[in-house]
A and B are shown apart, each in its own frame.
Chain A
Amino acid sequence: MNELLRRLLSLPPQASRMARDIDMLHYFVIGVTMLASFLVGVVAWTFIVRYRQKAHQEVTVRVEAPLAFEVPMIVGVLALFLLWWAIGFRQFIEISTPPPHTLDIYVTAKQWMWKFSYPEGPSAVEELTVPAGRPVRLIMTSRDVIHSLYIPALRLKQDVIPGRYVTMWFEADKPGTYPIYCAEYCGVSHSRMRGRLVVLSDEDYGVWLAASEAQAVAPRDTDGVATPSDSNLRSVGQAVAVRRACFACHTVDGQRHVGPTWRGLYDSKVKLTDGRTVVADEAYLTKSMMEPRADVVLGFNPVMPSYHAVLSEPETAALVEFIKSLRDAPVAPGVVLPPVETRPEP
C-alpha cells in the first residue's frame, strides 16, 4: 500500500524510517485534500444542476446558515488541521533533535559545490558516504551565500547559512545512492550544485573508510592556505593550533593559562562574565574563535583576538574536532580541576 501510494504520488524511495513516517502523514493530508476539493466540486456542480434557473428573474427564498451547521463545520475542520499540525510537529521535533552519539560529518557549502569532511577520514566533494543503520549528524556552514542541503530520499532539507553552523541528522537504513540537491537559489549554477548520498552497509562502510584513509588526499583548499598532509581531522586540528599559536594561551591538560583549558571543555557548562551559562558545543567553540569578546568565560580577561579573517573553514572545523577529542584527555599531575558541569548523559 505504501509502495503503491508512493509511486502514485511520485515520491522518491524512502531511505529511512523517518521518511516512511513522513510519507504516512503525507498520504493522510494529501488524500483528504483531494477528497475535499472533489467533494466541493461535486456538491457545487450538483447545486448548479439541481437549482438551475427555470424562469426569468426567478425569486428565491432567503436561507441563512444555521449555527448548528456552521459551528460543527468550523470546529471539525479546525480539529483536523490541528491534528495534522500535532503529528507534523512531533515529527519535526524528531527531525530536529539528533540522538546522542552520532557520526559527525562536517559540510561546507560554497558556490557551487558541497564539501564533506570526516573526522576520521578524508574530505570529499559531492559524495557523502554514510553507513546504514547509524545516526549521522551533519554540521554545516556556508562560505558565501545561503544554500540548502536537500536529500529527497530522506525527506530532509536544511538551509546552510554563512557565518553560522546548522545541523541536520538522519539514520539511513537502505543502502543505495540517492541524489543531493541545493534547494536555495544561490546564483547561476544553482541547479548544478548537486551531490550524491551513498549509503553503505556497515561492513562496506568500514571497507570504504579504510580505503579512503589509505589513499588519503589532504583537503585541498582553494584559498591557497597550506594544509598538512595528514588527513585525520583531529591531527590537522592539533597542527593548526600549533601554527596559529593557540597554545600560547590554552592548555590541553587542564591547567589554567591566559585562556581556559581545552581539556574537558567540549560539552561542558561554562559560566560567562555576563552571568549567562552556556554549553560549550561546536557553535560555542567556533564563536569563541570568531568573536572572542562575545562570550568571555568568568574569571578570564577579554584579551583573545578574533580569528575571523585568519582561520579558514577547514582549519576551524579541524580545531573544533581537536578540542572535542580533548574532552577526556589526561590531566597534568598536581592540577586540581575546578568543578566542571557536563551535560548529563541522556
Chain B
Amino acid sequence: MSEGTAAHLEHFQDLERQAHAARLGIWVFLASELLLFAGLFALYGAYRVHYPEAFGWGVDHNVRVLGTLNTAILICSSYAVATSVHMLRKGRAKLAAGLLGFTLACGATFLVIKGFEYAAHFREGVFPGGHGAFFHGKPEGLKVFYTLYFLMTGLHGIHVIVGMGILAWLLSRILRGQLAVPHTHPLDIGAVYWHLIDVVWIFLWPIFYLTPGAL
C-alpha cells in the first residue's frame, strides 16, 4: 500500500466503498463481542439474585479506588484514540501517532493496576473456583462471585491485550507512512475496537466495584 494514494483492493469499486465496508464489518464484529460478554453478565445477574449478600460482600471487598482509577484511565485512552483518528484524517500523522502511543500507555497502566489487584487477591488466598484457604467458613456465594470476577475481568483483560496489539500494529504502520490520507480507515477500525473494550469495562466497573449490599 503506497502512502496517500486512492489505491484500493480489487474487488471494491473505490476506496470509499472499501472503507465503508470495513467500518460496517467492525461494528458487526462488535455485536458478536457484546453477545459474548452478555452471556457472562447474564450469569452474574442470575447468581447475584441468588446470593445477594455474598456478592455484596465481594464487591465491598474490592478496592473501589483502583476500579475507578482504571475506569478513568480507559476513558482517557478512548478519548486519546478518538482524537488520534481525527488527527490522522486531518493529515497530522505525527500527532496521531503520539496520541496512539498515549492510548497504549493507558492500556498498559490499566493492566498493571489489574495485576496488582489480582496479586492482592492471590495473597489473600482468593483464587477462582473457590480454591484457596480464604473460602473456609465463608458463604458459598463468594466462591461463585470470585470465579465470575476472575472470568469477566480476565476475559476483558485478554481483550485489552489484543486491542493493544492492534493499536501497536496500526501505530507502526503510521510511523512507516503506510497509513495516511486518504487511506486512514484502518485506524477507525482499531479505535472502534478499543471503544468496545472501554464500554465493556464501564459495565464491569459498577458490578464489581460500586454495588455492595443487596441489589
Contact = CB atoms under 8 A, between A and B. Distances in A.
State yes or no: do A and B touch (Cβ within 8 Å): yes
B214 A274 contact: yes
Interface residues of A, number: 6
Interface in A306-320: 306, 308
B140 to A, nearest CB: 6
A293 B57 CA distance: 13
B51 interface: yes
A156 interface: no
A309 B51 CA distance: 19
A274 B140 contact: no
Interface in A273-321: 274, 291, 293-294, 306, 308
B139 A293 contact: yes
Contacts of B51: 294
Interface residues of B, number: 8
A308 B130 CA distance: 15
Interface string B50-64: 011110000000000
Contacts of B140: 291, 306, 308
B53 A274 contact: yes
A294 B54 CA distance: 9
A30 B15 CA distance: 58
A294 B141 CA distance: 9
B197 to A, nearest CB: 35
A279 to B, nearest CB: 18
B52 A291 contact: no
Contacts of A293: 53-54, 139
Given A274-B52, A274-B53, A294 B214 contact: no
Interface in A23-61: none
Interface string B24-56: 000000000000000000000000000111100
A66 B140 CA distance: 62
Interface of B: 51-54, 139-141, 214
When A and B form their complex, which 6 residue pairs have the shortest distance between CB atoms, in order from nearest? Answer: A293-B139, A291-B140, A274-B214, A293-B53, A291-B139, A274-B52
Given A274-B52, A294-B139, A308-B140, 11 more contacts: A274-B53, A274-B214, A291-B139, A291-B140, A293-B53, A293-B54, A293-B139, A294-B51, A294-B53, A294-B141, A306-B140
14 contacts: A274-B52, A274-B53, A274-B214, A291-B139, A291-B140, A293-B53, A293-B54, A293-B139, A294-B51, A294-B53, A294-B139, A294-B141, A306-B140, A308-B140
